A = this chain, B = another copy of it.
Amino acid sequence: MRVDGREQQQLRTIHIDTNYLKHPEGSVLISVGDTKVICTASVEDRVPPFMRGEGKGWITAEYSMLPRATEQRNIRESARGKISGRTMEIQRLIGRSLRAVVDLESIGEKTIWIDCDVIQADGGTRTASITGAFVAMTQAFAKLYEQKAIKKFPITDYLAATSVGILKDIGAVLDLNYAEDSKAEVDMNVVMTGNGEFVELQGTGEEATFSSDQLNELLAAAKGGLMQLFELQKSVLDEKIIELIEGNGKKEEAE
Q: Which residues of A does B touch, CB under 8 Å?
A: 21-24, 27, 34, 38, 40, 42, 44, 62, 64, 66-71, 73, 76-86, 88-89, 91-92, 96, 99-100, 104, 113, 115, 117, 119-120, 122, 188, 193, 195-212, 215, 219
Contact = CB atoms under 8 A, between A and B. Distances in A.
Interface of chain A, helix or strand or loop or mixed?
Answer: mixed
Nearest to A25: B68
B202 A201 contact: yes
B78 A85 contact: no
A77 B76 CA distance: 10
Contacts of A206: 96
B219 A197 contact: no
Given A21-B68, A208-B100, A81 B79 contact: no
Nearest to A104: B207
Contact of A203 (B23, B88, B89, B198): B198
Given A84-B88, A88-B88, 12 more contacts: A23-B69, A23-B120, A40-B68, A73-B113, A76-B78, A77-B78, A88-B89, A197-B211, A198-B209, A198-B211, A199-B204, A199-B205
Q: Give me the 7 closest cross-chain CB pairs, A-B, nearest first.
A: A85-B88, A197-B209, A77-B78, A201-B203, A78-B78, A42-B73, A24-B68
B76 A64 contact: yes
Contacts of A71: 23
Contacts of A119: 21, 38
A209 to B, nearest CB: 4
Contacts of A82: 78, 81-82
A83 B81 CA distance: 8
A115 B67 CA distance: 7
Given A44-B73, A76-B64, A91-B85, A204 B200 contact: yes
Given A21-B119, A81-B81, A27 B209 contact: no
A240 to B, nearest CB: 25
